[in-house]
Structure 1
Amino acid sequence: MSKSINIGIDESQRIAVGEGLSRLLADTYTLYLQTHNFHWNVTGPFFQSLHTLFEQHYTELSVAVDDIAERIRALGLLAPGTYAEFSKLTQIKEVQGNIDANTMLKNLVESHETLVRTARSILPLADQANDESSASLVSDRLVVHEKTAWMLRAHLE
């Protein structure tokens, strides 16, 4: 961590927010992998629509991981970037094996809801630090994941 960072946020608060964002990054990247996996392996009568939907989702997540990692760097921390680091930090459950489209949808709902909880846990840290940039990023992620979870749940009804 650079000792020359003076962006108006106390160092301990900057570290706490950065560590929270590292957990968000790990969850987001893990969800990206999960969604990409499902995109490749979905089958069934709704193949085309789900294949396309999952592609839209993983494309959005790809941009999100970059935004989150860059915010971590702006706070002066190293962004985690390996599978080993992500596996230690993520709360998203890995899915293995051949599963049907309905199970994929259920898993994605759970994963997006997990990400919402992770994001929500960071907001008080960012607010306490008066870190509007991180709070805004996290708020934007909340909107995306809450809406995506709702839309995925609609497929299950």
Structure 2
Amino acid sequence: MFDYHMHSSFSADCPVPMEDMIKGAIQKGLTEICFTEHIDYEYPDDTIVFDFDKKEYASKLIEMQKKYEGHIRIKKGVEIGVQPHILDKYDELMAKEVFDFVICSMHTVEKKGLHYGEFFEHKTIEEAYGIYYAELLYCVKNYKQFNILGHVDLVKRYTKKTV
């Protein structure tokens, strides 16, 4: 069994050290994992920076791969937060970095975060979903450097019942 959507303290939304995540994965019987730390350029909340030190990340991964060799396979991944106007920034990232696995996710629509509800203001549910999926479709058609789409129904998680 494996898990390719794991975050550690390299992601702004996870305080758990990488080694603790590995130990937990081994305890659960996983045989292969991939850390897909968040990079979300232009995330609309200045209090959160969804980026990390790539050299430190690679170094820690190599250290953990060596330490846990024979117990679990550990891969290097990333979860990118796409938006139509910043796809070129992810092209630049992929030209510089090598990842075993890339998750393409959308956390921001119309340059507004889904998490805080601002995107949904003054829209019906149908309008909000239409815009979300139109932007996601644009990104999928115009950006190819990923392995899988992440939580394509994320918009549903943050939809206000009163929209």
User: With structure 1 as the length reference, what TM-score do the two structures score?
Assistant: 0.28
Larger RCO (CA under 8 A, 6+ residues apart): 1
More strand by share: 2
